[in-house]
Amino acid sequence: MKRYKITAMLCAFGLLLCAAGCGSSGGESSAEKTTASSGGESVTAAYRSNAEGVLDTSAVFTERDLRQTADTADAEEIALESGKDVVIDTEGVYVLTGAAENCTVRVEAGDSDKVQLVLAGVSVTNADAPAIYVVNADKCFITTAEGTENTLKATGKFTSDGSTNTDAVIFAKDDIVLSGLGALTVDSAMGNGISGKDGVRVTGGSYTIAAAADGIEANDYIAVCGNTSITLKADEDGLHAENEDDDALGWILLTDGVLQLDVGSDGIHANSVCQIDGGDITVNAGEGIESTYIQMNGGTVTINATDDGINAGHKSDAYDVTVEITAGELTVTVGQGDTDGVDSNGNIIISGGTVRVNADMSAFDYDGEAVFTGGVLIINGEQVDSIPEPVMGR
């Protein structure tokens, strides 16, 4: 199988999964952990879940990624004003306050610069431009200050920045980390809520996102951990990761947090891998989860879909098409008609956890093998001891 093909690439990104503070479905004790270094930042070494994660993430969020408050001792305070863009071109911490219209915070720092924007009671409404635009930086942290309410909104169609199609209220060309102890509302009337041309990490905070397109979109990956709450409504996909140049990327990793996704298309769409190791996730969508390799190692996932609940299809050559469930609690309910609870154009493997499927026509559909070696499997309220054969003629 091709499930470990991109291990080296993930490690090169320096993106490791942290057990302490990020949640896990099992693994080493803290005494067994070691530390490593990535780009000058210390990182917390990873766990291995009770089944080997398909992403094989021995790797990490950095310690700073996981920090939910900023060191503001030397921070610069910026009061936003209507009609005036703010340009940040130097590494540092910047505390933003105030209400403004047609104002963009542009991060134009150096390639090795880390910039932290602390939202401390911010309200921005733009007609056709992002409220936050990360043009260049090594990494940009967007942190909500404790106890604050913050709102970023775009009311019209986004205009291009030269050759760059800015299509989101928060738009980043480089890695971004969303964190904090406050609340952030993102409202996009004609585009995405949050777009990252590299990776998007969410390690804490409360988010309410409404978008005419995708809620959170990234080229390389979306990774969520920690005490995170995301309530998202989108006309298209909820979480969407896709890289047209490298099909080993475009993955989604969910390890903790509470996610409520109400969308018109796919709740979670990852071209290569969707790995769920924890969290409380509710999806109301056309299709619940779509990816090449879908693995659930923990957490509670509830899917209500008008089409297929879980759909594994060939979107990436880096992985075999597979749905694998090793632990956790999964409930899938699909609508009437030509729908499948769990659909794989390859294999289905269930070795643990509790899986409930409510389907009028087809609970499981697969083109490869179906293996059930452990756990509890309930179809339309009745416990069974094997995955049923696909419905003929479909």
What gap in Å lies between CA 236 and CA 197, rounded to an integer? 18
Q: Write down the pLDDT at residue 361.
A: 87
Half-sphere exposure for 187 (CA within 13 Å, toward CB): 13
**For the chain, what is the mean pLDDT?**
88
pLDDT exceeds cutoff 60 at 14: no
What gap in Å lies between CA 210 and CA 154, rounded to an integer? 11
pLDDT exceeds cutoff 90 at 49: no
Q: What's the whole-model pTM score?
A: 0.89
Closest CA to 14 of 34, 33, 49, 40: 40
Beta-bridge partners for 185: 151, 208
Q: Write down the pLDDT at residue 47.
A: 27
pLDDT exceeds cutoff 80 at 92: yes
What gap in Å lies between CA 351 and CA 355, rounded to an integer? 11
Q: Write down the pLDDT at residue 56.
A: 61
Q: Write down the pLDDT at residue 61.
A: 82
pLDDT-above-70 percentage for the chain:
85
Distances in Å between the Cα of 254 and the Cα atoms of 25, 54, 97, 296, 353 are: 11, 13, 31, 10, 17
What gap in Å lies between CA 340 and CA 205, rounded to an integer? 35
